Structure 1
C-alpha cells in the first residue's frame, strides 16, 4: 500500500496538472497582450524614425495602426465585409517596414487562435477575436480566410453567399443591397418594382409609390441576406438597412457567444476539419418587420395570443408555432418615438433567436431557478451600438433600460441576489416584479460580461452554456458563484460597487 502511494505521489510531482479553463484563458490573454505590445513598440520606433526624417505624414499613418490601450470599455468588433477585392495599392516607401512588423504579429495571432481552439476546454471566442486581429494584419492568408468563412474570389476574397449572388448576376448596391444588375438603372432613376403579377413583365414605379403598394401585408418586401429571410412592409431602403443591422449583429453574436454555441459553431467545425471549405448551406433565420404597433398586434395575436401584451415591443418564442425544424420567426415593428429604440428590441429578440436556433437542443426550463440569464443576455445585447467608423460595440453603459436599472438599484428595488437567482420563469415574470426583474437582469449581465475588463465573462458564459442545457441544479456545484469562485454576497457587493456613482473631487 505504501509503495503504491509513493508511486502515485511521484507521478503527481512529475506530471503537472492540466491548466484549468481560467488558467488557460489568462495565459491566452497574456500572450495576446504580448503580441500587441511587441508590435506597438516596433511601430512607435518606426514612426519616430520617420518623424526624424521629416516624413510626418507617414509617421501619422503608422501611429494609426497602434492599438489604443484597453480601457475596459465595450466590446468592439469590426464587421467583416462580404467581398474583399484584391489589394491594388502600391505601398509607400515605408510600407515594407510596416509589413515586416505587422505580418509576424498576424501570424502570431493565427497561432494564438489555434491554441485557443485546441485548449481543453476550448476558448472559441478568444480564437474568433484572434482571427480578426490576424486578418487585419495578413488579409491574404488563406488559412485565416478559410477559418473566417471566406473563399478565393477574383484575386480577393468573398463569402460563399456573395459568390453565389455574383454568379447569379447580382450586384451589391450601397442602399438596396444585393439586386439584379438590371435593377441598377431603375434604382438610379429613383424607381422600385411594383408587386409582381404572374405572366407580366416587371412594372417600375417611383420609389414612394412602390413602397406604398408594399405598406400592407398582402405584398410585403421579401429580402434574403446571408443569414436571414426578412419580410417587411416598411419602405425597401429601411428594410435593407434593417437587414444590414441583422447581419452585423449576427457577426457580433457568433464571435462573442462562440463558447456557448460550442460544437455547433461553423468556426469550431472548420478548426476541427482543416480540409473543410466554407459553403453557403446556412439555414436562414426568419424575421418579420411590421410597419407599426397596430399591425404587429393584429398579425401576431393569432400566432401568440395573450403572450403578446400591449407593452410588447418584439416577440420570439423558441417553442412557438409557425416554424420549421428549430426555426421560428422573430417579430418586430417600427416603433417610431418609442421608449426603446427599435434597434434595442431587434438585438434583444434576435439574440434569443440566434441562441435557440444555433446552440443545439435546449432544456432551459429544466433548471432549478436561474431563468434570469436568458433575459439578462437579451437586455445585455440591447446595448449594441453601431459606430461611425463601421464597427459595432456592445456592453457600454447605454440605453434607457440600463439607466432605469441604475435608478432601481439606487432605490433598493432589486431583490437580494440570492433570491433573484432562484427565480424560475413564472416568478421572474410576475406582474408586480417583471419590469424591475428585467432591469436587475440587465445590470447583472452587463456586469458579468464587462466588469474588470471581462474578467467574469468566460465563467459566466460557461454558466450560460449549462443553463441553456438545463443543467443548473441546486447543490450540484454548477451554480454561478461556483463558476466565479466567489459567494453570492461578494458578487452582489461587486455588482453594486460597479454602478456606484464616481465620488466627487
Structure 2
C-alpha cells in the first residue's frame, strides 16, 4: 500500500519515445513475458478509465497523474499520450515543442540537448557549431565565459542559459522538465480555468501552452551569481537560488552548495507565478504563509527507483516541523498566521522556524484524513495568488475554525511517531 502522507508520482522521462508497447523487446518474448505485457496493458487501460472519470469530475491534476501512471504500464497507450499533449512524429511520441524540433530535423542528445541530426557525429567528436562554421569545444567554452554569451538550452517548458558548460545546462534543463511534470500533476487545477478544463475533457488533450518558456540562468560559480544579482537582492549571499517575479527569471549556480531542495523551492515559485494571471504583489495583504508553504512543501520531492514522492513525515522540512511543535512547543496559530502579509512574515526573527511550520501546514492540508483539505488548499492558493483572499479564506474553504484546524494539525504531526 502507498503511504497516505505522500504522493507517489511518475514522469515520462524522454522528450521523444518510439511508439511501442510497455516492455516490448525486439522479438522472441517467452510466453510469460507476453502474459506480463498483456497484464500491464490491462492495468494501463484501467488507469486510463479512472483518468477519464477524473476528467468528468473536473479533477484534472488527478487525471494527469493517472494517465502518466498508465504510460508507465504501457508507454504506447495513445489516449493517455494525447491527454498529456503528445503527438506522433515519425513513429515517435513527442510533446509539442519536441514535435516541432523533430519536424525541423533535430534530435535530442542526452549530453548536448537539441542538435540537428547531421551535427551529432561532429559534436560527439568534440566540435561545436559557431555560426555557419565549426570550432573546438575548448574555443566554444572560451567564447561563452560570460553568461550573456552563454549556452542556451531550450526544452518544452524551459530555456536554460548557462556559462557552466552545455552539458551542465542540459542536465539542469532535464531535471526541470521532470519537475514540471510533477508540478503539473499536482497543480493542473491551479493553472487551468473552467473553460480550459472543459476543453481538456472534451478534446482529451491538454490545451496548448504559451510558446514562452520559463527562463532559468545557471551561473558557473557562486561568485558570479552573487556579483550579477547583488543589485537586485542585497542579501544575495544568503541565498542558494532565487526567483524574481518582476523579471520572471530563476537564478542558480553550479557547485557543491547547490541543492535539489533549493531548485524545487524556487521552481515552485516560478510556476505558480507564470502559469496563470496573478496579482502584481502576491500575498501583500495577508496569507503570505501559503506562498512559502507550498514552496517549502515541494522541497520534499525525492526521486525513488522508478517513481517520485512528494511529502512524508521523513522528508523535506517535516522532521523540523514536528520537532518545533511537539518538542519545542513552537507554533503560530492560524488565526494569527493568515493575517500576515509578505512584509509581516519576512521581517520576523523566527523565520527559519516559521518556514518549517508552513511546510508542515501545507503537508497537513495536502494529506490529512485522506486529503480532506486538498481542494481547499488549491482554492486558497488561487485566492492568494489572485489577491482575492482575506484572513478568513482558509477557514471558509475548509469549513473549520482555525482553532479546530490547529488541533487537527497537531494530531496529524503526532500521528507520524
TM range (shorter): 0.7 to 0.9
Counting only pairs closer than 5 Å after superposition, residues 60-99 of structure 1 correspond to structure 2 as 69-80=1-12, 81-87=14-20, 89=25, 90=27, 91-94=29-32, 97-98=35-36
- CA 1:378–1:271: 2 relative to 1, 3 Å: same
Equivalent-residue separation in structure 2 for 1:446 and 1:149 (angstroms): 29
- Counterpart for residue 349 of structure 1: 266
* Cα shift at 1:493: 2.5
Structure 1 residue 225: Cα displacement: 1.1
Shift of 1:398: 5.1
The unaligned stretches of length 5 or more in structure 1 are: 1-68, 323-327
1:218–1:82 CA distance, 2 compared to 1 (3 A): closer
**What does 1:90-489 correspond to in 2, within 5 Å?**
90=27, 91-94=29-32, 97-98=35-36, 101-119=39-57, 122-189=58-125, 191=126, 193=128, 196=130, 201-206=133-138, 210-211=140-141, 213-263=143-193, 269-273=199-203, 282-302=211-231, 304-306=232-234, 308-318=235-245, 320=246, 322=247, 328-334=248-254, 336-338=255-257, 341-362=258-279, 365=282, 369-389=286-306, 391-397=307-313, 401-409=317-325, 410-474=327-391, 479-489=393-403
SS of the aligned residue for 1:288 comes to: strand
Distance 1:481 1:277 in 2: 32
Structure 2, unaligned stretches of length 5 or more? none
Q: Which structure carries more relative contact order (alpha carbon 8 Å, separation 6+)?
A: 2
Aligned to 2:411: 497
Higher mean C-alpha deviation, range 357-366 or range 167-176: 357-366
Instruction: Indicate if the aligned counterparts of 1:364 and 1:467 stay in contact, CA closer than 8 A.
Output: no
Q: TM-score, normalised by structure 1?
A: 0.72
TM (norm. structure 2) is: 0.86
Check conservation: 1:160, 1:278, Cα contact below 8 A.
Answer: no
> Structure 1 residues 153 and 202, CA, compared in 2 at 3 Å: closer, same or farther?
same
| Residues 48-59 of structure 1: pairs in structure 2 closer than 5 A | none
Bigger shift: 97-106 or 356-365? 97-106
| RMSD, matched Cα | 3.1
Give the secondary structure class of the aligned counterpart of 1:113. Answer: helix
CA distance in 2, matches of 1:103, 1:218: 48
Aligned residues: 410
Using a 3 Å threshold, how does the CA distance of structure 1 residues 337 and 398 change in structure 2: closer, same or farther?
farther
| 8 Å contact kept, 2:283–2:291 | no
Residues 95 and 185 (structure 1), Cα distance of their counterparts in 2 relative to 1, 3 Å cut: closer
